[in-house]
Amino acid sequence: MKIATWNVNSVRSRQQHLLDWLKTNPVDILCLQETKVVDQDFPKTPFENLGYHVYISGQKSYNGVAIFSREPLQEISIGFAPILGEALTQNFDEQKRVISGVINDIRIINLYVPNGSEIGSEKYLYKLAWLKLLKQYLTQLKQSNYPEFCVCGDFNIAPEDRDIHDPKGKDSHIMASPLERETLQDILSLGLEDAFRKFTQEKGHFSWWDYRTGGFQRDRGWRIDHHYLTPQLYKQAVNCTIDREPRTWEKPSDHTPVIVELNLKNR
């Protein structure tokens, strides 16, 4: 099974890129972030014509997540509230950032983690609170009928210095501050492992490059898009790669796909 994650930075702007990529990379599951479109305007038909079932949770101009799947998904869940209850989640589901579903007894959890804007800002505090809620959400799912899962998406956090082209000054930089990293590691302490680092240890591998600084042309990138796997799935992971090619296309997303491959034959 191949599962890809890709922050497309507007599904309508990147529709042809998505179609072209899927024709040459017919993954089983594709998780999208920053779709930036309300559900009724999501361009489902072209992807359904490629053989995908399309599951969406969107909002106008911002955020938005979707899952494309070759096979129908079960137990589709949108937001934190179906798992944690509205009393606990309060207004965190107003921003469309979480969608999940089950296939082959595996729960696919697609996330668009808040960016945080700048350290100490209101948005930064929101990001930290959102991440703490995510840990509660995943803790509950570990106790469900489907305790094996792939948590993927745009995490807006580079876990280590080797995930940044130049880590100098990282302590005062959003997406690499100590508190963000500590909060992410606290989530991973639930038993989740970074699929990419199972196969690639060296630095210099990135999934996002800033438009504003000519980041891609200078390869000044960050690795902030991840697949985290529960122990059994981590053992069954046989590859995890970053596909840089779509970032070379005309008017690309600032992110590029990350693909994990699982060998499920011995399940």
Q: Which of 17, 52, 124, 154 is catalytic?
A: 154
Q: Is 154 a catalytic residue?
A: yes
Domain assignment present for 172: yes
Q: Is 255 a catalytic residue?
A: yes
Banded model confidence at residue 191, pLDDT cuts 50, 70, 90: very high
Domain assignment present for 76: yes
- pLDDT (tens digit, 9 = 90+) per residue, 214-249? 899 999 999 999 999 999 999 999 999 999 999 999
Structure tokens at 104: 């082959």
The total number of structural domains in the chain stands at 1
- pLDDT (tens digit, 9 = 90+) per residue, 123-162? 999 999 999 999 999 999 999 999 999 999 999 999 999 9
User: Residues annotated in the binding site, as ranges?
Assistant: 7, 34, 154, 156, 254-255
Residues of the domain holding 153: 2-262
Using alpha carbons, list the distances in angstroms from residue 63 to 36, 141, 192: 5, 23, 25
DSSP category for residue 237? E
Domain assignment present for 144: yes
Domain assignment present for 267: no
The CA-based dihedral angle spanning residues 144, 148, 266, 25, taken in that order and rounded to the nearest 10 degrees? 130
Helices marked H in the chain — which ranges?
15-24, 44-48, 81-84, 86-89, 122-142, 178-188, 195-199, 231-236
Q: Give the Cα separation of 244 and 43 in Å (integer).
A: 25
User: What is the per-residue pLDDT for 266?
Assistant: 61
Q: Locate tokens 């009724």: which residue? A: 40
Share above pLDDT 90 across residues of the chain, in percent, rounded to a whole number = 97
Domain assignment present for 173: yes
Q: Which of 17, 226, 227, 255 is catalytic?
A: 255
Domain assignment present for 69: yes
Q: Give the Cα separation of 50 and 63 in Å (integer).
A: 25
Q: What predicted TM-score, i.e. pTM, was given to this entire model?
A: 0.97
Domain assignment present for 212: yes
**Residue 85: CATH number of its domain:** 3.60.10.10
Domain assignment present for 40: yes
